[in-house]
């Protein structure tokens, strides 16, 4: 899969995680989850504060400091305006942890070519963290990375529309030649069957 470079996406990093600056200040293009930009929030210096920020890259994680401010629109204790960090090749997930774009690109390549699941990819990252002696581990379970990856995909503009020229993006019939969904062995049972296995509730498509 070819993922095009886009100015709205984090840049591609090069080098180990220790190359990152010690602090990430809040810039005018920083925003809250609600979408309010720092430049539009009317913030003063007294509103801003610093906190720890764990950056996860392909080979390890490091702790840095990040500058944030409370969101005047949300007025929620956990809703704060933080820096975008795209110029550093990072995705600021929740002002507490961030992911390097290289992680998302790596998963997309593995998923497209080897049908790698989230859990399998995360296990590989965890192994690299141990190998490189990372001071901080990867988020356990992989759910945080999975949610962050789906959020990242919303920003990606793929070169291909991934749609049929005749049927559009929502054809009446879709024929799949494989699946990238994995199940644990404990889930095996009489009720589990391949997605292509017909049942009494299967819809009949004439001419297929």
7-30 residue pLDDT tens: 456 665 555 567 889 999 999 999
Say what the pLDDT of residue 114 is.
Answer: 83
Q: Which residue in 7, 4, 23, 26 sits closest to 86, CA to CA?
A: 7
199 in a domain, yes or no?
Answer: no
197 in a domain, yes or no?
Answer: no
Separation between Cα atoms, residue 67 and residue 40, nearest integer Å: 17
16 in a domain, yes or no?
Answer: yes
208 in a domain, yes or no?
Answer: no
Band the pLDDT of 41: cuts 50, 70, 90.
confident
143 in a domain, yes or no?
Answer: yes
Q: Enter the pTM of the model.
A: 0.71
The percent of residues in the chain predicted with pLDDT above 90, rounded, is 39
75 in a domain, yes or no?
Answer: yes
Q: Residue 115 belongs to what domain range?
A: 1-164
- Whether pLDDT at 70 is above 60: yes
189 in a domain, yes or no?
Answer: no
205 in a domain, yes or no?
Answer: no
Say what the pLDDT of residue 74 is.
Answer: 86
Band the pLDDT of 163: cuts 50, 70, 90.
confident
Residue given tokens 């998963």 in the structure block: 107
- The total of structural domains in the chain comes to 1
Separation between Cα atoms, residue 99 and residue 91, nearest integer Å: 5
């Amino acid at each position: 899969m070819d993922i095009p470079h886009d100015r709205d996406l984090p840049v591609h990093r090069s080098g180990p995680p220790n190359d990152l600056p010690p602090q990430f200040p809040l810039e005018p293009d920083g925003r809250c989850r609600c979408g309010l930009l720092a430049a539009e929030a009317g913030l003063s210096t007294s509103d801003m504060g610093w906190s720890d920020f764990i950056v996860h890259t392909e080979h390890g994680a490091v702790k840095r400091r990040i500058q944030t401010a409370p969101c005047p629109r949300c007025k929620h204790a956990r809703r704060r305006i933080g820096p975008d960090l795209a110029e550093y090749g990072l995705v600021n997930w929740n002002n507490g942890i961030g992911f390097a774009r290289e992680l998302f690109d790596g998963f997309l390549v593995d998923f497209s070519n080897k049908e790698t699941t989230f859990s399998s990819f995360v296990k590989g990252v965890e192994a690299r963290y141990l190998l490189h002696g990372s001071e901080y581990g990867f988020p356990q379970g992989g759910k945080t990375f999975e949610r962050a990856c789906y959020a990242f995909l919303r920003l990606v503009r793929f070169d291909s529309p991934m749609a049929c020229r005749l049927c559009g993006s929502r054809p009446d019939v879709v024929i799949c030649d494989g699946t990238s969904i994995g199940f644990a062995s404990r889930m095996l049972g009489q009720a589990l069957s391949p997605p292509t296995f017909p049942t009494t509730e299967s819809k009949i498509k004439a001419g297929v």
